[in-house]
Amino acid sequence: MILGEAQEFASPGEALAHFGIKGMKWGVRKDDDGPEGVPKKTNKLAKAHAEEFTKAKLFYGEGAGTRRKLIKAKVEALSKKDALYKKAFDHHVAKTDLAQRAEQATKERKRKDITKSVKKTGRGVGHVVRGNSQYANTAAVVGVGAATYARKTGLDKKAMDAGKEFVDKYINSR
């Protein structure tokens, strides 16, 4: 076909035409993100606060109570000022999947507990090395004792050599 020429069809049924989606209104966006009549800025703020509120609601452990109190106070203050904020906040809280939030809270708690444990063991190792073993936890004392034993018996060099040999074999096999 040469540019500018009209294409001819054997019948009108052969022509492919597309005029949008059935029932779609031209120039109107379907926004199912928030309740009707709430300004976009207020809705966005309410959505963020609802997310934090539901996370804090299901969070447990150290600092959980403070976190819940702070977000609750913020939401109550904004709700008193603006009825539309309250409407949007309630809408987003109701839409939230609490099972997913509970899973997120559990994962966050595990991460925080592991981080805290690793830091505590690291401080304990420092105490043992400096001679203040009364401040160290059991894991730090056992770890330092094992390292000292390995160093005195030469096991650390054997382990290092075995590790180097393993890495060399792996690299050469590729």
Tokens read off for 137: 């936890």
Per-residue pLDDT reduced to its tens digit, 5-55: 666 766 666 666 666 677 766 666 655 577 888 888 999 999 999 988 888
Give the dihedral of Cα atoms 118, 161, 157, 145; nearest 10 deg.
30
CB–CB of 155/146 below 8 Å? Answer: no
Residue count (the chain):
174
Residue with token string 């606060």: 49
**How far apart are the C-alpha atoms of 51 and 89, rounded to whole Å?**
9
Tokens read off for 51: 């997310």
Kindly report the number of other CB atoms within 10 A of residue 126's CB atom. 14
Backbone phi, then psi, for 49, in 5-degree steps?
A: -70, -35
Per-residue pLDDT reduced to its tens digit, 81-119: 988 999 999 999 999 888 988 898 889 889 989 999 889
- Residues near 131 by beta carbon (within 8 Å), at least 6 away in sequence: none
Tell if the pTM clears 0.85, that is, is over it: no
Lowest-confidence region among 41-45, 69-73, 143-147: 143-147
> Which run of H or of E encompasses 18?
none
CB–CB of 25/67 below 8 Å? Answer: no
